Chains A and B, each alone.
Chain A
């Protein structure tokens, strides 16, 4: 009897704790909401934005498959390689943004040579695990003569969405910039993971 009573007392004590935890959760949630609200206008306020990316092809006077920093500032999309001149595209000239997904082998040429040199097909086993998913960001823009250009960037998984949102916030049309056409490759990646 006494024991049961003690237990009940403990439960009532826990009820107070629960209330405290729920209050904290409520405060935390409202804090996150406030943070989200405060970051939203920052996008519209033309704040500088930069991210590491690989230029696959398309930008004028820029090497293909080179790493650099993709940034937006003053309504200009810039790609800067270390120690090289900046390639830039006016954001107003960007007509469409498309996001895709690609799975690629990591390590580049040294890794390839190492895998080829590994005995008993060891390189193939390494290949099985040495792949990584990337986001591909495809831009369509027009030059001063109205000619259509395309540029492709490769970003870390999840970062493509950030760049697209940034561009959309700066007025780029995203009506046709959906991921639908990349589905086959995504499906293919999931098959591969199985």
Chain B
């Protein structure tokens, strides 16, 4: 009886140790991670989205406004930035670590929803923009060319939504702190949102 009771106690203690120790270790590593984050090693950026510049393309105003609005929305969704501000927002002057997102239309092919519905293969609305993230000093942190198309379903303005999503994805994929550090040595490469040159 005594030996079985001892065994039972030993098993209980072993079980408690097995449960408690890894949990403590995990919590310790998590604490280290959070302290590293709060220790200032990661810069928390805010972004100010500028209006879309049409460049030398005849792009409808509705498209420019739709890209701008969708960009603000998609950047908010990524939670990559502390604050997402709009152009001429007075709060921008008080925000530290502010990046400015500039978007210029490089290519615009107006499509047709009817042609897409009838032929499937033609009538795509295609947008290509050059998107740049700059610091207040004008230093380029990120420079990408991003596409946004609508090929099959949806209205022509859906291309702006796809474009904004691709821009947000491109910004999310690029580690901003790393990009900024490497910019001093080399110019950032110009690649598409899908990673192709």
The chain A residues found within 8 Å of chain B, CB to CB, are 56-58, 98, 100, 102-105, 112, 115, 123-124, 127-128, 131, 136, 138, 140, 142-143, 145-152, 180-185, 188-189, 192
Contact = CB atoms under 8 A, between A and B. Distances in A.
B86 interface: yes
B117 A147 contact: no
B1 interface: no
Interface in B87-145: 87-91, 108, 110-115, 117-119
B59 A181 contact: yes
B65 A115 contact: no
A103 B114 CA distance: 8
Interface of B: 51, 54, 58-62, 64-66, 68-70, 85-91, 108, 110-115, 117-119, 153, 155-157
13 contacts: A57-B69, A58-B65, A100-B62, A105-B113, A105-B114, A112-B153, A123-B117, A131-B113, A146-B89, A182-B60, A182-B62, A184-B58, A192-B115
B69 A181 contact: no
Given A127-B117, A183-B58, A148 B112 contact: no
B53 to A, nearest CB: 13
A152 B157 CA distance: 10
Contact of B156 (A115, A127, A145, A185): A185
B58 A115 contact: no
A58 B156 CA distance: 17
Contacts of B157: 56-57, 152
Contacts of A136: 60, 62
A150 B110 contact: no
A27 to B, nearest CB: 44
A128 B114 contact: yes
A98 B90 contact: no
A142 B88 contact: yes
B65 A140 contact: yes
A181 B60 CA distance: 5
